[in-house]
Amino acid sequence: MSAQRSAENGGTSRVYQHRWTVRMHKVRQWYPSIQEHRVLWRGPYIKGLADAPFMVMEKAYVVD
């Protein structure tokens, strides 16, 4: 997903000023070929622009 959303597509323009860690979480991914949802685990990963400063939080996570 892009760090910016196009205002032309009805979204709001969003520019991140920092990076942060996204924790592991479950998502229900729709598979049209089999017409069902399947649970997938995503993360952990770093969100935000590559050249932005990293936001320090109370917890620290290691991401490989």
Per-residue pLDDT, 4 = 46
**Separation between Cα atoms, residue 10 and residue 6, nearest integer Å:** 7
Would the pLDDT of 53 be above 50?
Answer: yes
Per-residue pLDDT, 15 = 83
Chain segment 3-43, per-residue pLDDT in tens: 444 445 666 778 888 999 888 999 999 999 999 999 999 98
Q: Coil, strand or helix: which one is 9?
A: helix
More confident residue, 37 or 61: 37
**Separation between Cα atoms, residue 64 and residue 53, nearest integer Å:** 18
**Separation between Cα atoms, residue 64 and residue 13, nearest integer Å:** 30
pLDDT band at 63 (very low <50, low <70, confident <90, very high): confident
Is there a contact between 45 and 64 (Cβ–Cβ < 8 Å)? no
Per-residue pLDDT, 3 = 43
With left for phi above 0 and alpha for psi between -120 and 50, is residue 11 left, alpha or beta? beta
